[in-house]
Structure 1
Amino acid sequence: MSLSATLKRAGLAPIGKGIYLSNRTREASGSSNPSKTPNIILVFGWMGANLPHIFKYTKVYQEMYPDATQIIVQSRPQFFWSSNRTRMNNLVPVAEVLEAHGCSGTKLEVAPASESDPPRILVHSFSNGGGIQMYTLGKLLRARSKSSLDFRGHKPRMSAMIIDSCPANATLPGALRAFTASLPKNSPLRIPLIIFIILIYSFNSFKHRIFGVQPIFERLKRGLLRQGPEGGILPWMTEKTPRMYVCSKQDELVPFEEIEEHVKEAKGRGLNASIEIYDDTPHVAHARKYPERYWGAVKDLWAAAVQS
């Protein structure tokens, strides 16, 4: 099936490079109280994830929250070694959609077109690839905002965040596992890719030692712990925003102990964080093996956002 046919079947339209928007008509749904459900769902796919794999999640969201507009962002390996400006420019279409729906800045002012239906945003990020896209979007939204960076006197939007199989520490073995996971062991590209990753990692380590530039994975971890007048990793998030980390003891790419340690630090800083630990699921495959538990936890997380 061609890409255009796949997108049409899924009700999506491309709005940027690796970025897709649901174009479902907003007809009346069976929702008993649509004002209590998300009307925007941001999905950041894991690195190298093809659309059919991401669709397995977005399809469930279409069934759970049929009134929501979905924005899907893919993550490609080249995103990691692109310049910061290139990363941010790639996400401009996402920022424009969010701004059109009322996310007009860190001050959380409602745009005129959305006064009757203010943003209620559910964010679902997968692995470090999706997490870095999310982190970059937060930087872009702040850069585009002309509002005063002050939350005082403003009520945060209804929002929640799922962080699946993330974050991981910035280590060379971890980077090698992440970038080569999708390649067959006998692939002729494997050795050149490993050499390239080692060179990139060494260069980034040099920048960190000489110029103090943190590796991007460390910036992601710092972004996830962000709080204060400029918001969290995304501008509308506060320390009260419910967030759920998901990990597995059998994840070969991201050790669950690293996520546990991060969640412990997040809680210590007063962030509203919880964690779901699976015993026997591979990387970003928890929903596939235990759909009832996984999606039940997502519903519970959103219920907490409604009450917060």
Structure 2
Amino acid sequence: MKKLSPFIYLYEPVTIITTHRPSLETPKLILIASWMDAQDLHIAKYITHYQSIYPTSKILLVKFVLKESVSASFTRKVVDPALVYLHSLIDSGTLSSSPPQPEILVHIFSNGGSATTRTLYQLFRAQTGYAFPLHAAVYDSCPGVYSFTSVYSVFMVNFSGLVARAVAAPFVSILVLWFWIWYRPLKILSGEDFLSANSRVHNDVDLVQQTNRSYIYGKADVMVDWRHVERHANHAAAKGLVVRREMFEHGPHVSHMRTDGDRYWKIVKETWKKGTMRH
């Protein structure tokens, strides 16, 4: 993949295979918003599978790196090269700003990917005056909302071994408690926390124009509570969005493909197909 920035990577097919010409059955662009601090080796498994099922699609990867995304202003700078590329596709006529059917498939992973795409949606509207182009979307292990156990689990994943976890536990607990105080009793000072912002924006039909979306989530996920995902799906459906819910009973966080790859990719392909069939 071509490196557009430390956080943005692009894959463009070199040749068009005559038996796989672009059509409604193939996204013109697949936008992948990876989970927080995702390793390239793990992201590559999704990239290569997309290359195999949609060989003519461009793939735009946007990474979320926690230490580089500590502020909203920096997150905007992180995603800016992705926006520049999207604008170039629209300006060249490769993508339409208001397509009659979806040309983009957005694949969002965890709260990191939710924050990335939330910023893309907001900035696109701010820069153009209209919503991000019509698309279909897959939400993998997201979006979540603040809870002590979920945020605690996110921080503790960085510590392996009984001794390291025992030492880290009280400090992590204090940190998570401080976040709760800062974003709940002191909300008038802190403003909206980024998890709440993710949930709100992804169900804002003025910002997010989707033909349909699929939620893939699991009861074994200790970082994003499956009940929070279902609540978000219910809110989306109540606003008129076409929603599909896919529970992986034993699926850990962003590991549903590994739990049942055949089922996972069937959901992805059917999500895209449903979006194109609606128009």
Instruction: Check conservation: 2:110, 2:142, Cα contact below 8 A.
Output: yes
Instruction: Check conservation: 2:104, 2:136, Cα contact below 8 A.
Output: yes
Report SS of the residue matched to 1:254: coil
Deviation of 1:252 (Å): 1.7
The 2-side partners of 1:139 and 1:278 are apart by 31
The 1-side partners of 2:197 and 2:172 are apart by 24
- Work out whether 1:217 is the aligned partner of 2:195: yes
Deviation of 1:101 (Å): 1.0
Q: What is aligned with 1:92? A: 80
Deviation of 1:270 (Å): 1.1
Report SS of the residue matched to 2:184: helix
The 2-side partners of 1:45 and 1:112 are apart by 27
- Work out whether 1:65 is the aligned partner of 2:43: no
The 2-side partners of 1:39 and 1:202 are apart by 45
Q: What is aligned with 2:116? A: 133
Task: Note the 1:2-13 alignment, pairs <5 A.
Answer: 12-13=1-2
Instruction: Check conservation: 1:34, 1:67, Cα contact below 8 A.
Output: no
Instruction: Check conservation: 1:249, 1:281, Cα contact below 8 A.
Output: yes
Report SS of the residue matched to 1:114: coil
Q: What is aligned with 2:267? A: 297
The 2-side partners of 1:218 and 1:88 are apart by 18
Percent identity between the two aligned chains: 26
- Work out whether 1:175 is the aligned partner of 2:151: yes
Q: What is aligned with 1:8? A: none
Cα RMSD (Å) of the superposition? Answer: 2.6
Calculate the TM-score normalised by the size of structure 1: 0.80
Deviations 1:84-138 (Å, cap 9, x if unpaired)? 1111111100001111111xxxxxxxx3442799771000011111111111111
Deviation of 1:17 (Å): 2.3
The 2-side partners of 1:116 and 1:174 are apart by 39
Q: What is aligned with 2:160? A: 184
**What amino acid is the match of 1:97?**
Y
Deviation of 1:201 (Å): 4.6
Q: What is aligned with 1:48? A: 37
Structure 1 residues 136 and 115: CA distance shift in structure 2, 3 A:
closer
Gaps of 5+ in 1: 1-11, 103-110
Q: What is aligned with 1:5? A: none
How many residue pairs were aligned? Answer: 272
Report SS of the residue matched to 1:184: coil
Q: Which has the higher contact order (CA 8 A, sep 6+)?
A: 2
Deviation of 1:204 (Å): 3.4
Structure 1 residues 165 and 29: CA distance shift in structure 2, 3 A:
farther
Q: What is aligned with 1:114? A: 94
